[in-house]
Amino acid sequence: MVIVNEREKVFHLYNERISYLFYVMESGQLGHLYFGKALNPKGSYLHMVEKAHRPMSTYINEGDLYTSYEHLRQEYPCYGTSDYRYPALEVQGGDGSRLCKLEYQEYEITKGKKPIPGLPAVYVEDDREASTLEILMRDTWRNLDVIFSYTIFKEIDAIARSVRFVNCGQEVLMINRAMSMSVDMPDADYESIQLSGSWSRERHVKVRSLEPGITAVSSLRGNSSHQHNPFLALKRKDTTECSGDAYGFSLVYSGNFLAQAEVDNYNVLRVMLGINPFGFQWKLGPGEEFATPEAVMVYSKDGLNGMSLQFHRLYRSRLARGYWRDRERPVLINNWEATQFNYVEADLLRFAGKAKECGIELVVLDDGWFGARNNDKSGLGDWKANREKLPDGIEGLSEKIEALGMKFGLWFEPEMVNKDSDFFRNHPDYMIQTPGRSASHGRNQFVLDFSRKEVVDAVYEQMYDLLSNAKISYIKWDMNRSVSECYSSAYPADRQGEIFHRYILGVYDLHERLLQAFPRLLIESCASGGGRFDAGMLYYAPQGWVSDDSDAIERLKIQYGTSFVYPLSCMGAHVSACPNEQVGRNTPIETRGNVALTGAFGYELDLNQLNCKEIEIVKRQVEFYKSHRNMIAFGDFYRLQSPFEGNFAAWEIVRPDADMAIVTVTRVLSEINGPYRRLPLCGLSKSRKYHVKSKYLSYDAYGDELMQYGMMLEDRSSGQAMDDSGCCQDFLSVLYEVTAIE
């Protein structure tokens, strides 16, 4: 999967569907040639290098009026030697100079893929799955070695990239900017796609045409954030969900990031992804190393759905890991929206008993079970049961839940502390704060300094004690505020630029230690909902709480956008009470169920408050999910109709062998006497006959008809409904089963 043209010094990473080419320039720097649909591996491609004399430019060699980095497509550009665009790397020496000149030294090709110590990364289980190319570059002036790592996968159309820096000299170096990847594409005739929003409206799809200048999304919050996801996509203007060129760039990281597309004055496009350089600086002493987070690049000729399928397959099976990666997830119920802080053990047992009756498998106890925690002003950091609420502690409650035949889960917020807690009173210096400055609070809480091992140790010991002595199968790991006044008293002044990154390394370390101690523990990542829903967390937590907004209609957009990168297996999606807590909307329980069924399914309500009809619907939903959860988690997901573009949203899940599909169609607002509608499906076998079934519709059709002409919809607003079925109400969702019959 890697070919090297030794004479031309061209490197070609390829599989049957994609190619990635770069070469060694005469100067020793690496130049980019191509990324896209597979090219002949026997080809010679140096003619792709384009350079010409451009007026008012600077050139790297005296007497040469053609070779300027400003006009050459590069692989990992440095600033200061004729290239005036934003660089991938900036290193500062003791003399204050920030110039860096990397020159090619050698390469190595190995089977498989190496891990990145201390950082999440995609992996292989068999060395035949992938090939890795490492390029050693050197700045001889600084005695700095820079190793570029590229992994190409055989069956997945993705390339994983990362960079490692080694200080081989005696001078202390300061890394001010170290992106995980950069690529210069030959033209900028693309639209960019970002996933942006805010709390409770995360990962909305935003599309814009690229123009000269910079298009970027980023975070400076210490977490990947509700506001922007560490992801950027590019598509041609005629690309659709099912056809055309689409590129995706995803960062396997949970902290401050930058995803940037820069269009220069000659319509060349530079895409970069990595740690946000603002506020970042890493001191690299003699003999020390630094590794960037990993970036994953995907290309598809089959449109945005094709791009997403590659991310889903890679992240579902080679980023998520451990005991729960390939296992069906339990149907859970969480007590937060039912009780919030106000409960005692008897309430929880009644809550669990009704859940058991409905077939639910896991009861999750949310916030309020520990310390003096009756509101959000106290208790964080004291991870011991509140005996007034739970007289037998977490140990006793978990045993009683398991005696019902269910599993027990528990909420934690391990990175945070309230000042009104024994933990803070004993360790006031464990908080992130800048000396002499006031400390901002969020939700009446403060951030623990996870850049310090002793702080992580103190939290781990409390969590280990609980998990060792109680029957806890699942934890919901929350994080309800971002980092402010970022400073650590444990580090000197010239290392304060490292704290944001060291904080995230501490978060990863705590996850890793817990999983090593409790390998069957299921962790769901949560950050006030979707504030840290990223590929980095997926390495430790195979599912995440997509958003605190549990309203089904709002979730159409949130889950639709999330699916651009992340598989359904990692999307926590629950049925909540009505009126909805976040938006006050009343939505039919069938619609709430249909939307939540396309994810890791569960409930956020008190089942004891439902009537008999609603309980029967819940039982049917749970039964349906259990029957199809393997397909939902591990099937191919297709976006069919965007909630950002009209009154309808539709998506489809197809088994890998194409013998069944589930289609969800949701109409937001009712209408009268509307048109007949058909919905073209994806991923079916053209020559097989399928049976299409929903609540009011049943017919047979071949796969080619369902994909070309479309599946008939039972929308009763096409005319006037002549019954009292309720099919002409707002917020109506219909679930279709499409099953192969020959």
Known catalytic residues?
478, 548
Using CB atoms within 10 Å of the CB of residue 595, give its burial: 0 to 12 exposed, 13 to 18 middle, 19+ buried: buried
The answer to whether the CB of 377 falls within 8 A of the CB of 371 is no
Secondary structure of 629-651 as H, E, C letters: HHHHHHCEEEEEECCCCCCEEEE
Secondary structure class of 483 (helix, strand, coil): coil
CA distance 582 to 559: 16
Q: How far apart are the first and last CA of the chain?
A: 38
Q: Name the 3-class secondary structure at 28.
A: coil
Looking at the DSSP assignment, which residues form a beta bridge with residue 299? Answer: 247
242 vs 232: CA distance, rounded Å: 18
Phi, psi dihedrals of residue 49, rounded to the nearest 5°: -70, 125
Nearest CA-CA partner of 195 in 234, 230, 237, 155: 230
Residue type, 300: S
Helices marked H in 518-611 — which ranges?
Answer: 535-538, 552-562, 589-596
Q: How many CB atoms lie within 10 A of CB 88?
A: 25
Cα-atom radius of gyration of the chain, to the nearest Å? 27
Separation CA 469–CA 467 (nearest Å): 6
What angle do the packed helices 589-596 and 612-634 form, to 10 degrees? Answer: 20
Is residue 735 exposed (0-12), middle (13-18) or buried (19+ Cβ within 10 Å)?
buried
What is the rounded distance in angstroms from the CA atom of residue 630 to the CA atom of residue 326? 9
Segment holding 336, helix H or strand E: helix 336-339
Question: What sign has the CA pseudo-torsion 82, 83, 89, 90?
Answer: positive
Nearest Cα residue to 352 out of 330, 374, 332, 329? 332
Q: Do residues 679 and 654 touch, judged by C-beta distance below 8 A?
A: no
Contact 424, 431 (CB under 8 A): yes
The identity of residue 89, as a single letter, is L
Residue 646: partners with Cβ closer than 8 Å, 6 or more residues away? none
Q: Cα separation of 639 and 647, whole Å?
A: 15
Q: Supply 530's token pair.
A: 């979707």
Query: Is cis: bond before 579, omega within 30 of 0?
Result: yes
**Calpha distance 643→609 (Å, rounded):** 31
Using DSSP bridges, classify how beta strands 144-153 and 158-167 pair: parallel, antiparallel or unpaired: antiparallel
Alpha helices by DSSP H, 518-578: 535-538, 552-562
Which amino acid, one-letter code, is at 3?
I
